[in-house]
Amino acid sequence: MSSLKFGTSGLRGLVADLVGWPSYAYAGAFFRSVGATSCASRTAVIGRDLRDSSADIAATVATAAAAAGFAAIDCGPLPTPALALEAIRRGACAVMVTGSHIPQDRNGLKFYRPDGEITKADEAAILAALGDVSAVGTMPAPVAATPDPDVVERYRRRYSAAFAPDILAGLRVAVYQQSSVARDLLADLLAGFGAEVTPIGRSDTFVPIDTEAHRPEDVTYIAETMASGAYDALVTTDGDADRPLVADAAGGILRGDVLGLITARYLGADAVVVPVTAGSAIERAGGFAQVLRTRVGSPFVIAGMEQAQRAGAKTVAGFEANGGFLLGSDVALGGSVLPALPTRDAMLPILATLAAARDAGLPLA
């Protein structure tokens, strides 16, 4: 029996069950169902993380896109939120090849409409179009996607254009690079905002960083790194950079929902949407006109954000216990505007948490 199934964030399973025909079949079902009804541009942007299997699966997705009549754009290795932002910009569908935080022997597909993540109803439509994936068909000859090397830079500009250039001045930050697809971008972005950045722990082997259920070896590595006293904070992300991890000067890892709370306050959100697994400190902290609880999974958080907006909330944000932050509204920051990005993002909570601590003159602990 195949291990492939939709969970709280896309399709996941063993690499052995995904490569080849299954990835072609699932991608094709997406393009024929959700893509056909939501993507007038008939364009698909495709990205991937740094797992060994991701490049080949991405090439298969590009072939499936072409077979369905879509122009495939290869965005290369990049954060999932960067791909989602590009899909919004182009009015395109998107497929991200990533297993997020799970081990190297597994991988997955995340699907996006031009307006953001697919819904549970969209998942049902994909499965209806899929049919019996165990009946292996014949794939057409590979069709290469057209490269676009500028997508990551457009994602970087989302933040460099919205925040003041000195918001992190004076902070000493260790960037645990490991195999995160954002490892270079994160270091460069923080340095661009004035932080003294030290990249550490780069790995050519995939490291399954889980920002919620921390591996003992990661906890130990972070504690030993911070014991030197050389850094005010350590930051990193999971494999596809939609979940952040932030540790304080003593090596203590901040809870993901605490990062979300800090970020929502920093942005001046009046309504926040969180799953039932997020801590009760969100209500106790006060400061929000509305706190809405949902089932676990970003599709439910997004539906909750849309509900809050219909109810009249002006600035709506969502976040999960893993730290992934979803921005449902445009936010004014001084004289600039940070546009909405209703998908999990690691960069925003890292920036906002560090900036909030610096503004307050307080340590992160």
Quick one: average pLDDT of 142-146?
96
**pLDDT tens, residue by residue, 182-210:** 999 999 999 999 999 999 999 999 999 99
At residue 109 the predicted structure's pLDDT band, cuts being 50, 70 and 90, is: very high
Tokens encoding 4: 């492939």
**pLDDT grade, residue 135 (50/70/90)?**
confident
Question: Which tens digits make up the pLDDT trace of 264-286?
Answer: 999 999 999 999 989 888 998 88
Query: Mean pLDDT over all residues of the chain?
Result: 95
Q: Are residues 137 and 169 in the same domain?
A: no
Average pLDDT over residues 126-147: 92
Same domain, 146 and 167: no
Exactly one of 9, 33, 53, 100 is catalytic; which is it? 100
Tell whether the model's pLDDT for residue 124 goes beyond 80.
yes
Rounded CA separation 95/46 (Å): 5
Single pTM value for the model: 0.95
The residue from 119, 153, 187 where one domain ends is 153
The mean pLDDT of 111-131, rounded to a whole number, is 93
Residues 200 and 295 in one domain: yes
In a domain, 356, yes or no: yes
CATH number of 175's domain? 3.40.120.10
295-351 pLDDT, tens digit per residue, is: 998 889 999 999 999 999 999 999 999 999 999 999 999 889 999 999 999 999 999
Is residue 100 part of the annotated active site? The answer reads yes
**245 falls in which pLDDT band (50, 70, 90)?**
very high
User: What's the CA angle centered on 179, arms 176 and 180, to 5 degrees?
Assistant: 75
For residues 246 and 167, state if they share a domain. Answer: yes
Q: Is the pLDDT of residue 1 over 80?
A: no
Distance CA 247, CA 235 (A): 6
| Domain span including residue 134 | 5-153
Q: How confident is the model at residue 131, as a pLDDT?
A: 87
Q: How many domains does the chain have?
A: 2
Of the two residues 47 and 133, the one the predictor is more confident about is 47
Q: 269: closest CA among 321, 328, 228, 193?
A: 328
Residue 82 located in a structural domain: yes
Q: In what order do the strands lie in the sheet with 271-275?
A: 290-294, 271-275, 316-319, 325-327, 341-345
> pLDDT digit string (tens) for 148-160?
999 999 999 999 9
Rounded Cα–Cα distance for residues 230 and 158 (Å): 30
Residues 112 and 203 grouped into a single domain: no
CA distance 18 to 53: 10
Query: 193: which residues sit within 8 A by CB, 6+ positions away?
Result: 163, 164, 165, 166, 167, 168, 169, 351, 355
Residue 54's pLDDT band (boundaries 50, 70, 90)? very high
